Structure 1
Amino acid sequence: MSSLQSSDAQFQFCFFRDAQALGPGWSSSPKLQIANMWKEDSGSYWCEAQTMASKVLRSRRSQINVHRVPVADVSLETQPPGGQVMEGDRLVLICSVAMGTGDITFLWYKGAIGLNLQTKTQRSLTAEYEIPTARESDAEQYYCVAENGYGPRPSGLVSITVRIPVSRPILMLRAPRAQAVVGDVLKLHCEVLRGSHPILYWFYHEDVVLGSSSAPSGGGASFNLSLTAEHSGNYSCEANNGLGAQRSEEVTLNFTGRHSTRNPLRSLPSPVPQEFPYLNSPTPGQLQPIYENVNVVSGHEVYSLVYYNQPEQESAAAETLRTHMEDQVSLDIYSRLRKANITDVDYEDAM
């Protein structure tokens, strides 16, 4: 070919691989550049030159074998970065290789045991797997695998945390008696049903902060308050885990100004509970009984509403004892509305 190129004659050139013309076909350029060689480009190459007189000259054939570069340094990254995503947001798992040629197959796995989520084959060093709406169940460890014919290469494990805003908290007030009085210690317990920890709880009386308590591992928190005459009124709590605050419904507590001089429940059998919750939510099944909204109804009349949850299983002897106790308590609490002189007798004496 060099002797042809050095002559004054004009030539047209064409390059071939396995009888297939390459590039633009016949041209005046004696060179053909292939920017990226792939394994599929392996084959037998030659060129032809055509003179102005239409005489065609052919070069010798050259065998070219293209070898793939094995994938290496497989990594898994997330979007948003850091592996933390808000519940309901989009999560993308990006699998990448530092080197590797040809078609690369990417696979994504969930959990250490490897639940295959998706497989993609493409001529690229990166590929993406998308979770359009992240859920709590998506919190897990993930990894990806890449291979291009030289064996699979896994990435390291990446932990995904799905951040969940707190739900509306439930506030429960626990007093040592059915009608709290000045001097009693009132326990305020605030808890959410859902929400990523840590959670910070604030307690309020008439929208004035009483104090705060944290729950580093989730769950609820409590605050103890020694009652004074100014502590009648509405109570609430607030939960916040940095993803938005939620406020509970208000719970109203009314109580007398002094301790009772006698306790009509003192002579009742021991199963009578010593702590009485005031709720802002449906009665939990494990609490029995529950006293709710113990208030003055109108004028000098006082009432107490009692819910009793029967255990799922109990012996015949326990059933007999419970029935007998219920009858006694019911006669005392439900028989009728009692009249009371509010100025001289506290609510417990009136019951």
Structure 2
Amino acid sequence: MLLGLVLLMCAAPCEPASEDNDASTVLGRGCGIPPEGVPVWNVSLETLPPGGQVQKGKKLVLICLATQGTGNITFSWYKGALGLTLGTKTQRSLTAKFEIPAVTDSDAEKYYCTADNGYRPSISELVSVTVRSPVSHPVLTLRVPGAQAFPGDVVELRCEAQSGSPPILYRFYLEDVILGSSSAPSGGGASFNLSLTAERSGNYSCEADNGLGSQRSEAVTLSVTGRRPAEDPCRNPPSPVPQVSNYINSAAPLQEQIVYENVNVVSGDEVYSLVYHTQQERQAAVDPQRTHTTDQDASAIYFKLKKASPADVDYEDAM
């Protein structure tokens, strides 16, 4: 009775039973019920290049694999958390591939795939794809403390590539000899400090490398001056010269120095001016027994002036 009921429901699509066909075989032919077999199981997604690291403009291959499953298997690939369908392929195989011929920055996403042989779909885990860009030609900048470079100065070499996926390794050169290196884990530029010597004049350059090919900068010429001047008035301005009037008479054996201090009103209507008078005697040529070469005689002279008035403008000129 059961076999007759099934044949009635399937009508033409189902094949009649025979001596070699049992009920289960008939159920699997043309009635929309999967035949006996093994469901797809343990689906995963892999990428080429491995690890999901692909260079911009290069080909990306998404490989969908099933550990087991029989019959024709339908594979589908999806992009992003919303599941944008990329493509579908049906074949009698446990593996299928989907290719993106030239990736762009927008292809940096999460991907997954499914496999179905009529029982139920099996879904892979999400796989992240990173699109990496090679570095551009870097630019080298030299920074010295002043307008000229002297031995002992510390020069900063700054190298920066305007584009390129991190991390970036920078190498610094004098002519073709490497001076050192510095890395930029998050991208951008990097610096290297160098103490100058007279032998370090020449052409400087730098190189940027992020594993997708290296790029070299243009050369920058630096001339190191022999040595710094002993006294540079531009860097060390002289101390202010005291406003002192010196009078020297080369014809006389004595030197006089007169210093005028400020004029002050001491008390009442009287104004006083303090004048120091110093005489310096040179060594006498006719007296070799003398051991002291100079004899100073300083005296202070006070002048009592009349009452100060607006007309008394310059007391030094008056004396």
TM-score, L = length of structure 2: 0.58
1:8-48 deviation line (CA, Å, top 9, x unaligned): xxxxxxxxxx9xxxxxxxxxxxxxxxxxxxxxxx832456x
5+ residue gaps, structure 1: 1-17, 19-41, 48-58, 267-351
Distance 2:84 2:122 in 1: 17
What's 1:230 paired with?
199
For residues 125-274 of structure 1, what are the structure 2 equivalents within 5 Å? Answer: 125-259=94-228, 261-263=232-234
1:199–1:218 Cα contact (<8 Å) kept: yes
Q: Cα distance 1:188–1:157, how it changes in 2: closer, same or farther (>3 A)?
A: same
Q: Are 1:86 and 2:55 counterparts? A: yes
Alignment of 1:116 onto 2:78: no
CA–CA distance in structure 2, aligned partners of residues 212 and 232 of structure 1? 19
- Alpha-carbon separation, structure 2, partners of 1:114 and 1:259: 69
Q: Do 2:175 and 2:202's aligned partners in 1 also have CA atoms closer than 8 Å?
A: yes
SS in 2 for 1:210: strand
Does structure 2 conserve the Cα–Cα contact (< 8 Å) formed by 1:135 and 1:162? yes
Kindly report structure 1 stretches of 4+ aligned residues shifted beyond 6 Å.
none
Matched residue type, 1:216: P
Report which of the two structures shows the higher radius of gyration computed on alpha carbons. 2
Instruction: Assess if the C-alpha contact under 8 Å between 2:107 and 2:131 holds in 1.
Output: yes
CA drift at 1:171:
0.9
Contact 2:196 2:224 in 1 (8 A): no
Give 1:311-326 correspondences, 5 Å limit: none
Aligned partner of 2:27 in structure 1 is 65
Q: Tell me how far 1:130 sits from its aligned partner.
A: 0.4
Superimposed CA distance per residue, residues 234-290 of structure 1 (whole angstroms, 9 cap, x where no aligned partner)? 1101122333322111011234334461338x9xxxxxxxxxxxxxxxxxxxxxxxx
| Number of residue pairs matched by the alignment | 216
Partner of 1:43, secondary structure, is coil
Q: % of aligned pairs identical?
A: 64
Question: What RMSD, in angstroms, separates the aligned Cα atoms of the two structures?
Answer: 3.2
Which runs of no fewer than 5 residues in structure 2 stay unpaired?
1-6, 8-12, 238-319
Taking the aligned partners of 1:262 and 1:129, their CA distance within structure 2 comes to 74
Q: Closer, same or farther in 2 for the Cα pair 1:152/1:60, shift >3 Å?
A: closer
Name the TM-score, length of structure 1 as normaliser: 0.53
Q: CA deviation at 1:99?
A: 3.3
Q: CA deviation at 1:149?
A: 4.6
Aligned with residue 44 of structure 1, among 6, 12, 15: 15
